[in-house]
Amino acid sequence: MTYHANPARLLLEDGRSFLGTALGAPGVALGEVVFNTSMTGYQEILTDPSYTGQIVVMTYPMVGNYGVNSRDGESERPQVSGFVVREASRMFSSWRGEATLDEYLRNHGVVAMAGVDTRALTRHIRSRGAMRGAIAPADLPEEELLERVLAHPPMEGLDLACGVSTPRPYGLSAVGEERFHVLAYDFGVKARSPRILAEMGCRVTVLPADTPLEVILQEKADGLFVSNGPGDPAAVERAEGAILALSARGVPVFGICLGHQLIARAFGGKTYKLPFGHHGGNHPVKRLESGTVEITAQNHGFAVAMDEGSRIAGAPELRLTHVNLYDGTVEGLAHRTRPVFSVQYHPEAAPGPHDSLYLFRQFLQLMEACRP
Amino acid sequence: MPKREDIRSILILGSGPIVIGQACEFDYSGTQALKALREEGYRTILVNSNPATIMTDPELADRTYIEPLTPEWVERILERERPDALLPTMGGQTALNLAMELHRRGVLAHYGVELIGANARSIEMAENREAFALAMRRIGLAVPHGGFARSLDEALAIVEEVGYPAIIRPSFTLGGTGGGIAYNLEEFRNQVKRGLEASPISEVLIDRSVIGWKEFELEVVRDGADNVIVVCSIENFDPMGVHTGDSITVAPAQTLSDVEYQQMRDAAIAIMREVGVEAGGCNIQFAVNPADGEMLVVEMNPRVSRSSALASKATGFPIARVGAKLAVGYRLDELPNDITRTTPASFEPVLDYVVVKIPRFAFEKFPEADPVLGVQMKSVGETMAIGRTFRSAWQKGFRGLEIGRSGWVVGRDLREDGLEAADPESLLAALRRPTPERPFQLKRALEAGLSLEDLHEATGIDPWFLDQLRRIVETEGWYRTLPEVTPQALRHMKREGFSDRQLADLRGEGEEEVRDRRRRWGIRATYNVVDTCAGEFPAATPYFYSSYEDENEAQPLEGPKVVILGSGPNRIGQGIEFDYCCVQAVRGLQEAGFRTIMVNSNPETVSTDFDVADRLYFEPLTVEDVLEIIHLEQPLGVIVQLGGQTPLKLARPLAEAGVPILGTSVEAIDRAEDRERFAEVCRRVGATIPAHGVAATVAAAREVAGRIGYPVLVRPSYVLGGRAMRIVYDEQGLEEYFHEAVRASPDHPVLIDRFVEDAFEADVDALSDGREVVIGGIMQHIEDAGVHSGDSACVLPPYLLTATEMDAMRALTRQFALELGVVGLLNVQFAIRDGVIYVLEVNPRASRTVPFVGKATGVPLARLAARVMAGESVDRLGIPRDPRVPGVAVKEAVFPFNRFEVDVLLGPEMRSTGEVMGIDESFGMAFAKASAAAGNALPEGGGTLVVSVNDRDKPTVTPIVRRFYDLGFTILATRGTHEHLTRLGIPAQRIFKVGEGRPDIVDRIVSGEVQLLINTPLGKKSQYDDYAMRRAAITYRVPYLTTMSAASAACDAIIALRSRAHQVRSLQERLAGVALP
C-alpha cells in the first residue's frame, strides 16, 4: 500500500514542496520539472531522449496500467532524470506487457515518485513556468536539497544533444526496395523516425551529433534528416554547416523538433524558451497551406521566434507553414527556395496521434523531385 | 468556413418519451443544439412529444411543436413551417429513423428540406449493418464475422459457420431491442424469430460471439473540412456481451497502450471518412481480443448518443453544441473551447481524473423479468462519478447510484446481492451471469479470497479493474485492523474515496462520529476543475468534482447564492420531470438576481450541463457530499423540493446539520408524509380521507385491514413511484404481500388505506408562498383509481368533473397549502366517487406533472416556485390565479413492456418510464395524438376489434363496443363477452382464447388480422391466455386498452381522427392565443 511506503519529496527551486512516496530507484534526481498531458504512452515518454535532463510529471493520474515491454521504447533505456505520477499501477494488464512500471524504473535506476497531487503541481508549473527541482527521500533536509537544486544548471545554454547522440554511426536498411539514402543527424533521435523512413523505402544512416561536416559531405545522400533532441538549440552548433551545405546542393532537408529549431537558426532564425513548454499529445496545429488542423504530439521547451508580421524572425528566406492554435507559436517552416522544411512537433508520434505522418511522405516526394 | 447563409430555418427532431435506451441525454443534446443554432440567428423549429423536457420550453425554440413523432404528423409541420433544413442527429434513434422515413417517402424532397449534420447516404451506411460491414471491408477493418438473415433458414445457415454462442441483432432497432445471445439451437431459433419481428425491415445480423472481449468506445467529431478529433475514449468494465448502456463504463480507456489506442483512433478516423459523416459527432464501438489485441469494429452511431452525453460531461467538451455548429458549416478551429475560452475546439480533451458511469436498473418493478444482462439494454438510468483515481470514482459512483449503499459495499444479506450461497463455487457460478448485483458479488468473492485469475475467467473483466477492486478490499482490511485512526490514516482513506458512513461501518463507529473527527482534524473535501486540458490552461468554466488532494481550486462563488439539489440517476418514478424543475429553478433564481449552484450526478441531464447553473458540482447526492459543498460555499439556502425523493430525503439531515432549507419546512414535509400526522392535518382542514392504518407486523396489518375493510391499498412509508404498492383484496393477499414485497419494521411500517373502488382520480398542482395559493392545473386521470398516477393517462382541463367538484378540490388544495405552510409547490391527489371527494395524498414538493401543466398552460410553475422559495410573493410575481389551457391536453404514459417479458396490466406500482402529451382543440383529437405519440396509434381506418373483458366490465364495455361497431369495426369477442354482446344485440363474432381451439386470439394477432384489443383481467391473477394475448399485442404493435375509460377515450379519438382536420399548432401560437387560420 502506498500509504506505508517510503515517503519522498519533490522540491522545486522556488521552495514549493510536494510529498508522496518513492517509486523506482532510491536516491535523488535533479532536473527541470515539466508536465506531460498524454493519457497513454508513458514508456515512449520515459525513453524519449528529448527528455534528457528533465523530471517528467504525468498529468494523467493512473500510470503503468498496461505495463512496459521491449517494443515500445523510443531508445534503449529511460532518458528522463526523474518521473512523477499521481499513482503507479502495482500490476499491469496487457497481452503486450512484460514488466510493471516500478520494476522498469528500478531496473534502469530511474528515481521516481507517486502519490503526488500532480494537478496542483501542474498548475504551479503552468503559472510559474518550468523550473528546476529534485526528487529525494522525505527525510533529506529541505535546505540541503534546495541548495542542490539551485546548484543544478538551468536548461538555457545547455547542449544536451551530444550527450544522448549515438557514439558511432549505424544504418537501417530499407524495408522492401531501397528508394533513397537518408542521413539522419542524431541529436537524441527517437527510434520511430528512422524506422518510418526505412519502412517507406529509405536506407538510413544515423550519424553522431559530432560528425564532422567533411564526413557528411562525403556521404552520397538523397536527403538529410535532422532529429529531435533535448536542451537549448542555441547551444548546438554542429548541424548548421551540414544544413546549409547540403541544401545549397539541392539535397532535401527535413527537421523535427530540435532539428526544426536548428534549421531555423541555420538560416538566421532565433529561438527562445517557452514558459512551460509543450508536452502532450493533443495540441491542434494548423497547416496553413490547406487550412486543416492536425492533432499533434509535442515535446519541446524552446521555440522558433516569430515577428509581428507572422514571419520567422531574422530569417527572411524561411516561411511559416504551421502554427500552433493554442498559443500561436511557430510549428512548421519551409525555405522559400531550397528543399528544406521542418516541424516543431512530432509527426512520428510515439506516443501520440498519427495525423502528421504525411510529412514523411512529403520528404520522400521532395527527394524524388530533387533526385539528380 | 463560416456559417451557412443559404439556410435560415432549421427543424430539430426530439426523441419523444423517455424509454429504456433513450432518456434525458437527448433533451440535453437537443437543448444544446437549439441554443447553439439560435445564437447564430437561425429560426428554430422543434418537434417533440415529450412535455417533460427542457427543450420543449417555449423559450428555447422559435416554434415548439408538441406533436407525435410520426411521419404523418411531422409532415404537417414541414408543410406549415417550410424549414430549409432538418437536423436529425440530436434526437436519438427515434429522430434518425423518422428523418430517414421522411426521406424515403420523398417528403423532404417535396418540401425542399435538406438533411444537415448527417446525410441520408451516411445514415444508411452506418445504420444498415450489411452496408456498414462492406464499408469496413473497403477500409481494411474487420467486423465480428457473421451475416444477415431475413428468415430463420438464412439465419440457421449462418450460425452453422459462426457457431455458438452467437449474437442476434435486429436491424434498425433502438438500444438493441429484440437482440440476444444464443448458446444453443433452441435459443437461437427463438431469438431469431423475435429479432425478425422486432426489426422494422425484418432483418437480423448474426454475429460472431466476441463475448468476453474488451469493449471500447470512441466519441469522434468531424467537421466539413475533414478535421477529425476524438473527444473521449471509454472502456467498458463489463466486457462484450453486456450492452454498453448496461455496462459500467470508464473514461478514459485504462488498459490500452498508446500503440493500441492510436490504432483504434486511426480506425475511427478512417470510418468517419468512409461513412462520410459530414459534420457532427459519432460514437464508434470496438471489441478487442485480450489475448492478442485483435480489433473489431462493432458498430457506429452517426448521431449524438448516450455515450456522447457521457463523454461531454466526462471531458467538458459539449459534443451536441459543437455538432450543431458544425452542421451549419463552421469548422472546429472556428469554434472556441467553451471551458478555456482562449483555445479552439479543434483539439482532443485530456483528463487528469477518472470517470466511472454506473447504470441504474429497475428490476424491483418487474420481478418477473429476467435480470441477466445481455445485448438488449435493460437499465433505466445512470450515475456518473469523477475521481482522481479509478477507485475513488468507483466508490463515489456507488454512492451516487442511490440504492441504499454508502459506496461499494455488500448487501446486508446474500439475497440482496443476488446470491444463494457464499461458497466459491456459488460465487463463481453467480459471477458468470452478469446481473446488476455483479459488482457486489465481486466484492464478496474478493473478500473470500478468490484469485484474480478465477474472477477474470468467470467474468471476463480485465484483471486491472479486478486488481483495483482488490486494493479497495485490502485497504478496508488495513483500516479495520488499525490500532487507532490517525489523521494520516483518515486522510488516506478519504483520498481513496471512502465515505464517512463506510469508514464508520468498518470500525463500528457512528457516521457523525467519523465526520466530527474528520472536521476536527481539518480533513475536508477539495474540489478540482473539469477543464478539458489537464491543467495546461486556466479554465473559465466552473465545473467541479470533489477529491481529497493538497489543493482546493473552488473559491466560494460570490454574491447571494442558492444551492439546488438535483434528482440523481433516472429511475422509474423519478426522471426527467424533476430535472426540468431543477433547470427551471436555475432560470427563475437567475432572473431574480441570485447565483445558482447545481449538485447532481446524472450525466444525461440538462442540469449537469456546465453552462446551465452558475456553478456545477458533479457529485453524489448524499448528506456527506452535499454538506462538504455547503461548508465551502455557505449559500443562503438549499432547494430540496424540486428534484423528487432524492433531495427530499436529504432535507431533514441537512436541516439538522444547520443548513437552511428554502421553501416548505422540513416539519411541514413530515406532516404531509407521516400518515398519522397527515390524518391530523386532514381533520384540521376538514378533508375526507379513506379509512387507514399503519402496521409493522402482519398480525397488526390483518387487524387494521379487518377494521377498515377490503380491498386495501398497501405500501411502505416514504416511497415515490408507488414502489411495492399493491391493492390487496383479502387476508391471503395481505400475507403474501408481507412475505414477498416488503420488509416492514417499526421504523419502516406499512401504510394501509381503504381502496376506493370505481372512483375517478384527479391531481392538482399548486404554488403557494404561505399566504396566497395559485392552482396550476387540475388533471383528471383517464384510468380508474388504483392505477398509479404516473401510469395513468390524464387530461387537462378535466372533462368528467363537475364545476362543484373542481371548486371543492381547489378549496381543499388552498387549505392544505396554508395549513402546512407550503412555500413552493404542492401536489394533491384526489379520488372522487358518488360526489364524495377523498384526499389520497398531499405532496409538498414538485410533482411529476409540473412540466406537463407548464406546457399546457404556459405558466412555468417550477421557475416561479424557486423565486417564491427565495422570498418573493405570489402577488408580486403576477401569476394568473387559475391559468387557462388553450385547448385540451392529454398526457399518456409509456411503458417498457417491449423490453421486459412481463404483463402489461396497470396497477398502483408505477412502471412507466416516460410520457407524451397530445394537445388539440378537442379531447378526442388530443387523446388520438397522445396515443400516436406513445407508439400506440389508433386505427383511424377501422378494422377488427377484439374484446375480452371480465364480468365486472361487461356492462360498461357494451356501449363502448356499440360505438366501435357504429364506426364500422368488425367485433370479435371471447366466449363470455360474446354472449353478453349478442344478448344485447351487438353483432359480434366468437373468437377462441388460447387453448380453446385454433386459430385463437394470438394467431389472429400474429397474422395481422387485429387492429385493436380491449382486454381487462379475468381475476386477481390474470390467466395465462390473457397474458399471451397482451404480449402478442405488444410484439405485433397492436394498440391495446386495458381499462374501460381508456377504451371509451379511444373511441372518442377515432371519431375525432375521422371528423376533424389533422392540425398542428406550435406552443407559442397556442399560448399567445393565436387562432388557427
Find the closest chain B residue to A44 by CA distance: B258
pTM of the full structure: 0.95
Q: Which residues of A touch B214 (CB under 8 A)?
A: none
B461: amino acid identity, one letter: I
- Per-residue model confidence (pLDDT) at position B721: 57
Task: Name which of B227, B351, B550 is nearest A60 (Cβ-Cβ).
Answer: B351
Beta strands in B589-680 (DSSP E): 595-600, 615-618, 637-639
Find the closest chain A residue to B346 by CA distance: A284
Cα atoms in the 13 Å half-sphere on the side-chain side of B778: 24
Residue with cell 414477498: B740
Cα separation, B487 vs B402, whole angstroms: 29
In this structure, the strands spanning B295-301 and B280-288 are antiparallel
Cα separation, B828 vs B820, whole angstroms: 12
Residues near A130 by beta carbon (within 8 Å), at least 6 away in sequence: A32, A33, A34, A155, A275, A276, A277, A301
- Per-residue model confidence (pLDDT) at position B729: 87
Q: Which residues of A touch B349 (CB under 8 A)?
A: 282
Consecutive H or E run containing B986: none
pLDDT lower than 50: segments of chain B: 1020-1022, 1074-1077
Q: Do B390 and A91 touch (CB under 8 A)?
A: no
How many CB atoms sit inside 10 A of residue A290's CB? 10
Cα separation, A21 vs A30, whole angstroms: 17
Task: Name which of B492, B533, B549 is nearest A120 (Cβ-Cβ).
Answer: B549
Residues B113, B86: contact at Cβ < 8 Å? yes
Cα separation, B286 vs B144, whole angstroms: 10
Q: Which residues of A touch B464 (CB under 8 A)?
A: 65-66, 89, 91-93
Instruction: Tell me the CA end-to-end span of chain A in Å, nearest whole number.
Output: 65
β-bridge mates for residue B147, sequence order:
B206
Q: Do B255 and A349 touch (CB under 8 A)?
A: no
Cα separation, B18 vs A270, whole angstroms: 61
- Per-residue model confidence (pLDDT) at position A169: 96
State the nearest Cα–Cα gap between A142 and chain B, in angstroms: 19
Find the closest chain B residue to A351 by CA distance: B258
B255/A contact by beta carbon, under 8 A:
yes
- Cell numbers found for residue A227: 532529429
Cα separation, B374 vs B1073, whole angstroms: 50
Q: Do B388 and A61 touch (CB under 8 A)?
A: yes
B555/A contact by beta carbon, under 8 A:
no
Q: Do B536 and A281 touch (CB under 8 A)?
A: no
β-bridge mates for residue B142, sequence order:
none
- Cell numbers found for residue B750: 406499512
Cα separation, A117 vs A10, whole angstroms: 11
Residues near B361 by beta carbon (within 8 Å), at least 6 away in sequence: B246, B371, B378, B379, B380, B436
Task: Name which of B226, B255, B478 is nearest A94 (Cβ-Cβ).
Answer: B255
Among B1036, B1049, B917, which residue's Cα sits nearest to residue B48?
A: B917
High-pLDDT (> 70) share of chain A, %: 99
Q: Which residues of B touch A94 (CB under 8 A)?
A: 255, 257
Q: Does position A3 have pLDDT exceeding 60, yes or no?
A: no
Q: Which residues of A touch B534 (CB under 8 A)?
A: 37, 59-60, 119, 122, 280
A36-56 pLDDT, tens per residue? 999 999 999 999 999 999 999
Cα separation, B852 vs B50, whole angstroms: 9
Mutate to test the interface with A, among B352, B481, B486, B490 (most CBs of A within 10 A): B352
Residue with cell 529511460: A78
Q: Do B351 and A94 touch (CB under 8 A)?
A: no
- Cell numbers found for residue B128: 444498415
Q: Do A3 and B292 touch (CB under 8 A)?
A: no
Q: Do B551 and A282 touch (CB under 8 A)?
A: no
Among B571, B623, B566, B575, which residue's Cα sits nearest to residue B599?
A: B566
Q: Which residues of B touch A37 (CB under 8 A)?
A: 350, 352, 533-536
Residues near B1009 by beta carbon (within 8 Å), at least 6 away in sequence: B944
User: Is A346 known to be catalytic?
Assistant: yes
Q: Do A18 and B351 touch (CB under 8 A)?
A: no
β-bridge mates for residue A181, sequence order:
A203
What class does CATH assign to A161-370?
A: alpha beta
Task: Name which of A126, A283, A292 is nearest B225 (Cβ-Cβ).
Answer: A292
Q: What is the third-level CATH fold of A7-151?
A: Glucose Oxidase; domain 1 (3.50.30)
CA B517 from centre of chain:
39
Which position among A32, A74, A257, A322 bears the catalytic label?
A257
State the nearest Cα–Cα gap between A320 and chain B, in angstroms: 18
- Per-residue model confidence (pLDDT) at position B87: 97
- Per-residue model confidence (pLDDT) at position A237: 82
- Cell numbers found for residue B597: 449552484
- Please count the residues of chain B: 1077
Distances (CA, A) of B636 to A320, B557, B558, B600, B663: 55, 12, 12, 19, 12
3-state helix, strand, coil in chain B (%, to 5): 40, 20, 40
Q: Do B474 and A293 touch (CB under 8 A)?
A: no
Among B490, B352, B532, B466, which residue's Cα sits nearest to residue A116?
A: B352
Query: What's B993's DSSP letter?
Result: P
β-bridge mates for residue A10, sequence order:
A18, A135
Residues B368, B550: contact at Cβ < 8 Å? no
Cα separation, B932 vs B926, whole angstroms: 10
Q: Do B463 and A126 touch (CB under 8 A)?
A: no
Task: Name which of B533, B549, B553 is nearest A37 (Cβ-Cβ).
Answer: B533
Cα separation, B418 vs B426, whole angstroms: 11
Cα separation, B257 vs A65, whole angstroms: 9
Cα separation, B713 vs B726, whole angstroms: 6
Residue window 269-308, chain B: list those with CB within 8 Å of chain A.
Answer: 290-293
Task: Name which of A117, A295, A350 is nearest B551 (Cβ-Cβ).
Answer: A117
Query: What's B541's DSSP letter?
Result: S
β-bridge mates for residue B562, sequence order:
B596, B637
Q: For chain B, which domains are there?
A: 9-124 (3.40.50.20), 132-356 (3.30.470.20), 362-371+384-520 (1.10.1030.10), 530-662 (3.40.50.20), 691-745 (3.30.1490.20), 935-1059 (3.40.50.1380)
- Per-residue model confidence (pLDDT) at position A355: 97
Q: Do A126 and B333 touch (CB under 8 A)?
A: no
How many CB atoms sit inside 10 A of residue B119's CB? 18
Domain boundaries, chain A: 7-151, 161-370
Query: How would you label A230-246 residue by residue, b for 16+ Cβ within 10 Å and e otherwise?
Result: bbbbbebebbeebbbeb
Q: What is the residue-wise DSSP string for B338-352?
A: TTTSSSBS-S--B-S
Q: Which residues of A touch B488 (CB under 8 A)?
A: 3
Task: Name which of B462, B474, B553 is nearest A93 (Cβ-Cβ).
Answer: B462
- Per-residue model confidence (pLDDT) at position B1076: 41
User: What angle, 0 to 180 degrees and rounded to 10, lies between the N-to-C axes of helices B623-633 and B511-520?
Assistant: 30
- Cell numbers found for residue B969: 369495426
Residues A58, A118: contact at Cβ < 8 Å? yes
Q: Do B389 and A326 touch (CB under 8 A)?
A: no
Residue window 481-510, chain B: list those with CB within 8 Å of chain A.
Answer: 488-489, 492
Q: Which residues of A touch B555 (CB under 8 A)?
A: none
Task: Name which of B253, B254, B550 is nearest A120 (Cβ-Cβ).
Answer: B550
Q: Which residue has the higher pLDDT, A132 or B906?
A: A132
Task: Please give the average per-residue pLDDT across A315-331, as a whole number.
Answer: 97
Say if residue B711 is preceded by a cis peptide, omega within 30 of 0.
yes
How many CB atoms sit inside 10 A of residue B161's CB? 12
User: Is A257 known to be catalytic?
Assistant: yes
A-B Cβ pairs (cutoff 8 Å, strict): 163
Query: How would you label B265-289 residue by residue, b for 16+ Cβ within 10 Å and e otherwise?
Result: bebbbbbbebbbbbbbbbbbbbbbe
Q: Do A35 and B550 touch (CB under 8 A)?
A: no
Cα separation, B72 vs B656, whole angstroms: 56
Least confident of A164-178, A292-306, B882-896: B882-896
Query: What's B884's DSSP letter?
Result: P
B859-914 pLDDT, tens per residue? 999 999 999 999 999 999 888 877 888 899 999 999 988 888 777 778 888 889 99
Q: Do A325 and B260 touch (CB under 8 A)?
A: no
Structure confidence at residue A159 as a pLDDT band (50, 70, 90): confident
Find the closest chain B residue to A19 by CA distance: B550
Q: Which residues of A touch B353 (CB under 8 A)?
A: 61
How many CB atoms sit inside 10 A of residue B841's CB? 16
Say if residue B999 is preceded by a cis peptide, omega within 30 of 0.
yes
Q: Do B255 and A66 touch (CB under 8 A)?
A: yes
Residues B37, B328: contact at Cβ < 8 Å? yes
User: What angle, 0 to 180 degrees and rounded to 10, lies between the N-to-C axes of helices B487-495 and B463-480?
Assistant: 160
Q: Which residues of B touch A62 (CB under 8 A)?
A: 254, 354, 389-390
Q: Which residues of A touch B553 (CB under 8 A)?
A: 123
Cα separation, B330 vs B322, whole angstroms: 9
Cα atoms in the 13 Å half-sphere on the side-chain side of B872: 19
A288: amino acid identity, one letter: L
Task: Please give the average per-residue pLDDT across A285-305, as a whole number.
Answer: 96
Residues near B31 by beta carbon (within 8 Å), at least 6 away in sequence: B53, B54, B55, B60, B606, B609
User: Is A354 known to be catalytic?
Assistant: no
Query: What's B571's DSSP letter?
Result: B
CA dihedral of B1053, B1056, B1061, B1062, whole degrees rounded to 10:
0
Among B255, B185, B172, which residue's Cα sits nearest to residue B213?
A: B255
Residues B660, B667: contact at Cβ < 8 Å? no
Find the closest chain A residue to B294 by CA distance: A95
A90: amino acid identity, one letter: R
